[in-house]
Chains A and B, each alone.
Chain A
Amino acid sequence: MRTQNWARQVWAIVVKDIAAELHTREILSAMFVFAVTAMLTFSFALDLRGAVGRDAAPGVVWTTIAFAGTLGLSRSLAREQQTGGIAGLLLAAGDRTVIFFGKSLGNTAMLLILEIALLPLGTVLFDANLLRPEIVLVVILGTIGYAVAGTLLAAIAVNTRAREVMLPILLLPLIVPLMIPAVQATAGLLEGLALAEVNNWMRVLVVYDLLIVAVAMLTFEYVIEA
């Protein structure tokens, strides 16, 4: 019963975030415009075609996701601060982990929607098959870790005066250990390796995801109540 209630509250936050985004489209449109512009700029400025494009694709795609994501994460938590909404969440959620998982899932969903558009675009621009199921798996694992770390740090940054500046400063160094295996696994798979051959990088991704979820669960209550 308690678990059911917990899951229902988490889902309520996800549904609320999606409904708000459907009304405004401000998070997705900001991330989408930034991501497409960045990919096109990289592609044309560095003349990323053929083999060069395939080599550069993993780095370009993950860098674009990382930078575009900060726009969405920052806005997602700022929306909670509007008219004291975060206090409403704190009052209504029996358990603080509800807020953490709800916001993380909502942010993961937004990023995955962005990636649904980004991967086909990268496939066309860089002549690299980014739609392989194994690459999609890498993207999902990387996105989970990124969204969780981003949600935690956005909750810290949102209480600071320069939150838009603070989030990338805090987040980007923290996701380096996530970006390296994500880029390496994607590159390996694009070179035609099987999933088993990039297993070590996949393990690093999974361990990062588990660690960041554990750290966030332990600290989120203090962060959000600060």
Chain B
Amino acid sequence: MAENAPPMVVIEQLSKAFGPRVALDRIDLEIATGERVMLVGPNGAGKTTLLRIVATLSRPTAGTVKVAGADVSRGGGDARGRIGFLSHESLLYEDLTARQNLRFYARMYGLGDMTARIEELLARVGLTRRGDDLVRTFSRGMVQRLAVARAILHRPGLLLLDEPYSGLDPVAAESLTALLAALVETGCTLLLTTHHPAAEGTLTERVVVLSGGRVIEDGPVGDVASFPSRYRALLTQTMSA
């Protein structure tokens, strides 16, 4: 984590309601630059909603979200260029080749060194030889690796990962972990949601537990090996409350 750097994400009194249903309830959260945070919680806890608001894909009902000092809660504007987003949906076009997908996003982000960056990323995710194949011919693991390349194409300072392991077999999941671990080394701030804290615990240093739209625990992952059982106990406690 970068010393004395301003926080990458500052969330203050963030609430989001869908009609009468409250998805997020006055959330306060600060994530330091370079910090790696795991967001866990049961289904419907508000993890994806929180991530989508930080990613500027959804607007909050109340409260503010700042990314690298820019308020993104009422329209992201230029701050979007600092955010990378990876979810179980690839956000790729199946009717384009891998290279065409990356070229499209590179143009959208206004990258200068487009071709070199695309080739570098294709090599990094092991898809150089399949670069001219349509994405619809790819396996789920290959799609997710290409989605990682798309998410980090513009060298974002903040990477948001929404259940990135969903639907991946163990080999593909291992490959994704290796990719993300390499990314973490570059000092990228990470915020990821997961249902499997044991697997993603190695990537992160802090865990935030959400339940019913509220933060019920926030602290270091600490002993990663014991965290899953603590998490299970918290979930059981929350659900029986």
Q: List 20 additional contacts besides A5-B110, A91-B57; criterion CB under 8 Å.
A: A12-B104, A12-B107, A12-B108, A19-B96, A20-B95, A79-B93, A82-B95, A83-B92, A83-B143, A84-B87, A84-B90, A84-B91, A87-B89, A88-B92, A90-B56, A90-B57, A92-B80, A93-B80, A93-B108, A94-B78
Complex contacts, A87 vs chain B, CB 8 Å: 57, 85, 87, 89, 91
Find out whether the CB atom of B89 lies under 8 angstroms from the CB atom of A83. Answer: yes
CA A82 to CA B135, docked complex, whole Å: 12
Q: Is A24 an interface residue (CB 8 A)?
A: yes
Find out whether the CB atom of B100 lies under 8 angstroms from the CB atom of A83. Answer: no
Q: What are 17 A-B contacts with C-beta separation under 8 Å?
A: A11-B107, A12-B107, A16-B93, A16-B96, A20-B93, A23-B134, A82-B93, A82-B94, A83-B93, A84-B87, A84-B90, A85-B93, A87-B85, A90-B56, A91-B80, A92-B105, A93-B80
Find out whether the CB atom of B96 lies under 8 angstroms from the CB atom of A84. Answer: no
Q: Is B59 an interface residue (CB 8 A)?
A: yes
Complex contacts, A16 vs chain B, CB 8 Å: 93, 96, 100, 104
Q: Is A9 an interface residue (CB 8 A)?
A: yes
Interface centre among A15, A87, A88 (most CB of B within 10 A): A88
Q: Is B77 an interface residue (CB 8 A)?
A: yes
Interface SS of chain A = helix
Find out whether the CB atom of B108 lies under 8 angstroms from the CB atom of A84. Answer: no
Number of A-B contacts (CB under 8 A): 80
Given contacts A20-B95, A82-B93, A83-B89, contact A94 B105 (CB under 8 A): no
Find out whether the CB atom of B108 lies under 8 angstroms from the CB atom of A9. Answer: yes
Complex contacts, B150 vs chain A, CB 8 Å: 88
CA A32 to CA B143, docked complex, whole Å: 32
Complex contacts, A93 vs chain B, CB 8 Å: 80, 108
Complex contacts, A24 vs chain B, CB 8 Å: 95
Q: Is B83 an interface residue (CB 8 A)?
A: yes
Given contacts A16-B93, A20-B95, contact A8 B107 (CB under 8 A): yes
Q: Is B55 an interface residue (CB 8 A)?
A: yes
Given contacts A20-B95, A20-B96, A87-B85, contact A92 B108 (CB under 8 A): yes
**Which bucket holds chain B's interface residue count?**
20 to 34
Q: Which residue in chain A gives the minimum CB-CB distance to B92?
A: A83
Q: In whole Å, how far is A79's beta carbon from the nearest beta carbon of chain B?
A: 7
Q: Mark A10-26, 1 if CB is under 8 A from B, else 0.
A: 01110110011001100
Q: Is B81 an interface residue (CB 8 A)?
A: yes
Q: Mark B73-88, 1 if CB is under 8 A from A, else 0.
A: 0001110110101010
Q: In whole Å, how far is B10's beta carbon from the nearest beta carbon of chain A?
A: 20
Complex contacts, B95 vs chain A, CB 8 Å: 20, 23-24, 79, 82
Q: Mark A72-88, 1 if CB is under 8 A from B, else 0.
A: 00000001001111011
Q: In whole Å, how far is B74's beta carbon from the nearest beta carbon of chain A?
A: 11
Q: In whole Å, how far is B177's beta carbon from the nearest beta carbon of chain A?
A: 22
Find out whether the CB atom of B85 lies under 8 angstroms from the CB atom of A225. Answer: no
